Amino acid sequence: MSQRSCLSVILAAGEGTRMKSALPKVLHQIAGLPMVAHVVRAAEAAGASSQALVIGYGADEMRKAAAKFAPKAETFVQEKRLGTAHAVLAAREAISRGYDDVLVMFGDTPLIDADALMAARFRLAEGAAVVVIGFRPPNPTGYGRLIEKGGKLTAIREEKDCSAEERKIGFCNAGMMAVAGAHALKLLDAVGNKNAKGEYYLTDIVEIARAQGLDVVATEASFESALGINNRIDLAQAEAVWQQRRRHAAMLSGVTLIAPETVYFSYDTEIGADTIVESNVWFGPGVKIANGAKIHAFSHIEGATIGSNCDVGPFARLRPGADLRTKAKVGNFCEVKQAVIEEGAKVNHLTYIGDARVGARANIGAGTITCNYDGYSKFFTDIGEGAFIGSNSSLVAPITIGNGGYIASGSVITESVPDEALAFGRARQKTIPGKGKELRERLASAAAAKKKAAGADN
């Protein structure tokens, strides 16, 4: 199989009006990735070395998106929507290069898996000219039925054309196909449009191939893998399926999910064994977690790297560029952005660390903030190894706190602090004996007078 060349033609020209969106349907996301990108990834995993995206509505937006998730893919525009076979032929230039296998896929089936595509390619390698991928939905009503005889596919029958006996068939057409490259263009060019809609249907190549004496067979994918997206409800269902698969895989790989149904993964989340994830944790794109970390409840993490045996949360937010080294801790109600928290350092609670380095074994007290932005530019804060930053401190960047530096609580630090130095940056306290009692009595009297005046007005 590895020696057979393969092209995937992915149909992504649909407008998707039922999505009620200005965004092309196939760019709506599953697990933080456009659904069509999931299809591209499945095709690549099944051995498709070349990709042809057939686009239409929102072509410019599609090209821009494709440059990110499929930079090597070619795009072809279907100028008029005249049916699925017509859409495939928009990629004629790519198909004509003579691939062994041509996979025809749909950009709105994001759950298709590589195994289903590989099974179809295997049948091509055995000599089939056309392989139709089928599935068995819980309720086949509305789907075209796959009619088989003697192990061969004889027809794809639309439900309205089925006999009463054929309607009992549960094996349905998923729409996706694998076609032998040697026959692909000849079969597609033979498709006509003599039907009620005047369109060119891809399914017609089954009968055309059989009339030419070519083998046509069907393979089976799971119902979930063939699930198509037509509206926001379908999108949510696909997201739920994807998340369930990913959670299952994570737990089998040695990750503990305390409440699996509440954890959200992105398409590229990497998470090491012996990591414990508590409830209601959200992993956005670009998260890498080493072994043995603990992620507490209600944490929101994206674009972050978390080293082994780190402790995060609860209610922590790690933004892009957060880099926690071994045994670092970021506690509750803390936010870290574009900053390195080195080995054993602690950012305990109610703290913002942005555009910074926190040295190994440093301790950041509650309510500390790095003042990294002056309204126009970002500036860096460098906190040395073993430094102690007292609670409620503001570090005004650019600034360096030396190794072992000690910042007194409540300080506003605007100048760099040398190694092992102690820095204060706050007003001197003034205490007036008896003044507290006098102030309370005066405030109580004013409040009573105000209450009495309000009663008189009523």
The alpha carbon torsion through 318, 319, 324, 329 (nearest 10 deg) reads -20
Distance CA 302, CA 263 (A): 14
Cis peptide, bond prior to residue 285, ω within 30 of zero: no
Tell me which amino acid residue 153 is.
Answer: L
* Annotated catalytic residue, options 28, 38, 296, 349: 349
Whether 114 contacts 122, CB under 8 Å:
no
Cα angle 280, 109, 65 (rounded to 5 degrees) comes to: 80
Beta-carbon count within 10 A of 197 CB? 9
Q: What is the DSSP letter of 386?
A: T
Question: Which among 312, 313, 310, 314 has a CA at the least distance from the CA of 326?
Answer: 310
Cis peptide, bond prior to residue 418, ω within 30 of zero: no
Distance CA 455, CA 215 (A): 95
Structure tokens at 36: 């069509």
Cα angle 336, 343, 347 (rounded to 5 degrees) comes to: 35
Strand partners, 52: 9, 74
The CA distances from residue 257 to 85, 313, 331, 443, in Å, are: 45, 15, 19, 54
Distance CA 26, CA 87 (A): 15
Helix (H) or strand (E) holding 444: helix 435-457
Active site residue 349: yes
Distance CA 406, CA 47 (A): 58
Phi-psi region of 98 (alpha: psi -120 to 50; beta: other; left: phi over 0): left
Q: What is the DSSP letter of 127?
A: T
Catalytic residue positions?
Answer: 349
